[in-house]
A and B are shown apart, each in its own frame.
Chain A
């Protein structure tokens, strides 16, 4: 494995091996000394061309806990602002000895293109509306911990499916691992292409969609990606697709709640649900760190990295 670009193109075995490794590295977060020598002498760069707090910090800490050095490149204040292309930026970093690059970009497919141009491992930290593979992995790890398995689960993803790279990574991973997926959201935010997929059910009706589900992934309503007219109003969105104490009754009694964050409390999910014992959002964040340590170790550890 040279890069981590998508979950769509990973086998179930690849995904499961990454989940096992993540599970085993998770305890590092609890250690009194969170500094392992594993990636000592390696340097990684965070190339974030879109705002991010959690994901960038999570990658940075994951690299640091494994003793890699980390630099952060953001477009403002860098040569990118002066018109340098991404390829030149990347090539300069490679010339300086960077061993891996973590990239987030608003354009789908940029990490793939970068991976073809440079020899170092590229990790996709979210590209446009395409994929966010480490988020997908941490969601799978959380589900597996909560339910003991993924095979045979019924998992709902609620919200703005159209703009969501999280939904896409989740869908590919869930299908690969044998789960059934229910996509629920406003018709204007539901891509038609998902209706053709096996093991995927599409509905606009929250009550119908939540019947019998083991877990609910609540997506953030991405206000910055709403070009206008997709949803009538935040109030109506909440009334029809908001996950509340009321709508939660329709799911299985032991269904868990997940959310990739950041949350709009009172819009797509109510505060009391988010803070309840059924919420696994804290564990998702924790698992994110484990997954990112695992991915860095997987891509940078070992001589014959096939």
Chain B
């Protein structure tokens, strides 16, 4: 038996992504020279939704790039082999641009470290910012998010799951911990 606690339902996710869109526009004084970069997998649909929200606010939808950080991991030698998805980033969308990385959950920060390395291989951004739906703490690197849907204090062993319509058929974020008395 596993304990699950709901963190965000579909409406809460929708509101969080709209607020993040507002914050991005406000902080950058518009959307000029801005690119959103979704981190595979669930960061990608979230980036598209934030971009669409920015479009309704500003009348201009910023471009969205896609990044798979599999080739930049620092731990692949400790993991079973896993395939790498396609990355699509145009250098002219990186050089001199404000790049907003988008991911579902911020945890140790290692994914974001890898993503920043990857982005730098495509060009020299003016700035890199980070938007996440959930920040669950336990950073292992000096990395923080600029835009956060929800801060969630967690124990290290707990797991945070984000489900999105485009991948999972529903919008939901929840926390899972192993139930007491469960067989090991």
- Taking Cβ atoms with an 8 Å cutoff, the residues of A that contact B are 17, 20-21, 23-25, 27, 31-33, 35-38, 66, 297-298, 301-305
Say whether, besides A36-B121, A303-B77, A20 and B71 are in contact (CB < 8 Å): no
Residues on A with C-beta less than 8 A from B85 are 24
- The distance in angstroms between the C-alpha atoms of A82 and B158, with both chains bound, is 62
Residues on A with C-beta less than 8 A from B87 are 24, 27
Verify A33–B83 contact, CB threshold 8 A.
no
With an 8 Å Cβ cutoff, the count of chain B residues facing the other chain is 21
A32: which of B79, B80, B117, B122 is its contact (CB, 8 Å)? B122
Residues on B with C-beta less than 8 A from A32 are 91, 121-123
Residues on A with C-beta less than 8 A from B117 are 37
- What distance in Å separates the Cβ of B51 from its nearest Cβ neighbour in chain A? 21
Verify A21–B84 contact, CB threshold 8 A.
yes
Verify A17–B121 contact, CB threshold 8 A.
no
Residues on A with C-beta less than 8 A from B81 are 298, 301-302, 304-305
Verify B76–A301 contact, CB threshold 8 A.
yes
Verify B80–A25 contact, CB threshold 8 A.
no
Say whether, besides A24-B86, A37-B117, A297-B84, A303 and B72 are in contact (CB < 8 Å): no
Verify A27–B123 contact, CB threshold 8 A.
no
Say whether, besides A27-B88, A32-B91, A36-B121, A302 and B82 are in contact (CB < 8 Å): yes
Verify B83–A37 contact, CB threshold 8 A.
no
CB-based nearest A residue for B73: A38
Q: Is B78 among interface residues, defined by CB-CB distance under 8 A?
A: yes
- What distance in Å separates the Cβ of B126 from its nearest Cβ neighbour in chain A? 16
B122: which of A20, A33, A38 is its contact (CB, 8 Å)? A33
CB-based nearest A residue for B68: A24
Verify A27–B76 contact, CB threshold 8 A.
no
Verify A303–B80 contact, CB threshold 8 A.
yes
Given A17-B83, A31-B122, A302-B82; 18 other pairs, CB 8 A cutoff = A23-B86, A24-B68, A24-B83, A24-B84, A27-B86, A27-B87, A32-B91, A32-B122, A33-B122, A36-B121, A297-B71, A298-B81, A301-B76, A302-B77, A302-B80, A303-B76, A303-B79, A303-B80
A303: which of B68, B78, B88, B123 is its contact (CB, 8 Å)? B78
- The distance in angstroms between the C-alpha atoms of A305 and B80, with both chains bound, is 7
- Taking Cβ atoms with an 8 Å cutoff, the residues of B that contact A are 68, 71-72, 76-88, 91, 117, 121-123
A-B contacts, 30 of them at CB < 8 A, read: A20-B83, A21-B83, A21-B84, A24-B84, A24-B87, A25-B71, A27-B86, A31-B121, A32-B91, A32-B121, A32-B122, A36-B71, A36-B72, A36-B121, A37-B71, A37-B72, A37-B117, A38-B71, A38-B72, A38-B76, A297-B71, A297-B84, A301-B76, A302-B79, A302-B80, A302-B82, A303-B76, A303-B77, A303-B80, A304-B81
| CB-based closest 5 A-B pairs | A302-B81, A24-B86, A38-B71, A33-B121, A304-B80
Residues on A with C-beta less than 8 A from B82 are 302
Residues on B with C-beta less than 8 A from A38 are 71-72, 76
Residues on A with C-beta less than 8 A from B71 are 25, 36-38, 66, 297
Residues on A with C-beta less than 8 A from B79 are 302-303
Residues on A with C-beta less than 8 A from B123 are 32
Residues on B with C-beta less than 8 A from A25 are 71, 84
Residues on A with C-beta less than 8 A from B77 are 302-303
- The distance in angstroms between the C-alpha atoms of A301 and B77, with both chains bound, is 7
Residues on B with C-beta less than 8 A from A303 are 76-80
Residues on B with C-beta less than 8 A from A36 are 71-72, 121
Most A Cβ at <10 Å: residue of B68, B76, B78: B76
CB-based nearest B residue for A27: B87
